[in-house]
Amino acid sequence: MTTIRLVPLAEEHEHALLETMRDPDVLRFTRTPDPMPAGWVHEYVERFRTEDRGGWAILDGEEFVGYAVTGPIDRDGLEVELGYAVSPWARGRGIATETLRQLTQWAFDEGMKRVVAMISVDNPASSRVARKAGYTFEGVLRSMHHRGDLREDLESWSILPGELPAPHPPS
């Protein structure tokens, strides 16, 4: 088990973030534009410095191993959608599950009453992450807008307060 921490996305993470976002799987399963316009990563990081969104670098020690973000935070309805991407050089180490667990705890600490992960039906690895993190599969939403003109079927996973499993101690 790896010990990771989430720190606010900052300019210092932009190079590693760009390398992660260029990965074919990250491009396929996120809204990252391809090709990516010049300066887009900097604008992306800046987007998460507002009250209605959150963005974090995932660090293992001092190594950048991915990123985690929220969709718009509904502070009236107490709901938020969470997302994460693990860098290709860091996969297979349990980082995604621990990231989603920590991000979910953050959402509950912020007072959220419903937390959602929307996952492509073509991404079974991410579905396993949601299940391991305590999320419940709710069903498939057909032809959801993804990016540009692309529409795809997305699995809806959710978790409510009291359902988050306790963290596993590092081994």
Q: Please give the class, per CATH, of domain 5-159.
A: alpha beta
pLDDT at 62: 94
pLDDT at 101: 97
* 3-state SS string for 111-123: CCCEEEEEEECCC
pLDDT at 168: 66
Kindly give the residue spans of alpha helices, DSSP state H, lying in the chain.
Answer: 14-21, 24-29, 40-47, 95-109, 124-132
In the chain, domain spans: 5-159
Q: Report, as ranges of residue numbers, the positions in the chain whose pLDDT lies below 70.
A: 1-2, 168-171
- Answer for the pair 134, 115: CB distance below 8 angstroms, yes or no: no
Name, in order, each residue with C-beta under 8 angstroms of 18's C-beta and a sequence gap of 6 or more: 36, 41
Q: How far apart are the first and last CA of the chain?
A: 6
Tell if the pTM clears 0.95, that is, is over it: no
pLDDT at 170: 56
pLDDT digits 0-9 by tens, 51-94: 899 999 999 999 999 999 999 999 999 999 999 999 999 999 99
Name, in order, each residue with C-beta under 8 angstroms of 28's C-beta and a sequence gap of 6 or more: 120, 122
pLDDT at 86: 97
- Kindly state the tokens that stand for 1: 């088990």
How far, in Å, are 13, 34, 67, 85, 145 from residue 58 at the CA level? 10, 23, 5, 9, 27
pLDDT at 152: 92
pLDDT at 146: 73
